[in-house]
Amino acid sequence: MRTKTPTTPLSRAELVSLSNDIRLACMRISRRVRFESDRELPPHLYSVLVRLEETPRTNSELADIERVSAPSMKRTTSALVELGYVSRADDPTDGRQVILSLTPEGQKVLRRVRRHRDEWMLSRFEHLTDEERELLQRAAAVLAKVASK
């Protein structure tokens, strides 16, 4: 791709190419971070723990957030309960519902997995130049903006 000045907009073809390159790079990084750091906790279990860290939830709420079926989420949360990472409690307002919460052990696992993920990324950043790190710092803000839309 040719270098652009701030006043020269990218063509449609260049935007398509850029979007593909960024999407693939983000997917590869995400996959590598998960593969390198989640050996003790599969990604789908980690994702549910993160959601429960935000607030206690029901299986239905988690299934909606994670975009999976209710039976699939029930299996996932049952596994987390068996591991001791999640606790169940009856919903005080609806006896048919169960509220799921993160246990202290679940909080420890989240901290450990996050630390491993951060260490993996940091090990990659150590080999970059100062200029590359500064560029990534600016790109992180832009990618956060893209992800929020």
Q: pTM for the whole thing?
A: 0.75
Report how far residue 105's alpha carbon sits from residue 96's, in angstroms, rounded to the nearest whole number: 27
Report how far residue 146's alpha carbon sits from residue 61's, in angstroms, rounded to the nearest whole number: 25
Query: With left for phi above 0 and alpha for psi between -120 and 50, is residue 67 left, alpha or beta?
Result: left
What does the pLDDT look like over 32-64, one tens digit per residue?
A: 887 776 677 888 899 999 999 999 999 999 999
Contact 98, 58 (CB under 8 A): yes
Single-letter residue type at 6: P
Contact 115, 40 (CB under 8 A): no
What pLDDT score was predicted for residue 95?
A: 78
What does the pLDDT look like over 119-138, one tens digit per residue?
A: 989 999 999 999 999 999 99
Q: What is the mean pLDDT of the chain?
A: 90
Question: Which CATH number, 1.10.510.10, 1.10.3470.10, 1.10.10.10, 3.40.30.10, labels domain 13-148?
Answer: 1.10.10.10
3-state secondary structure of 85: coil
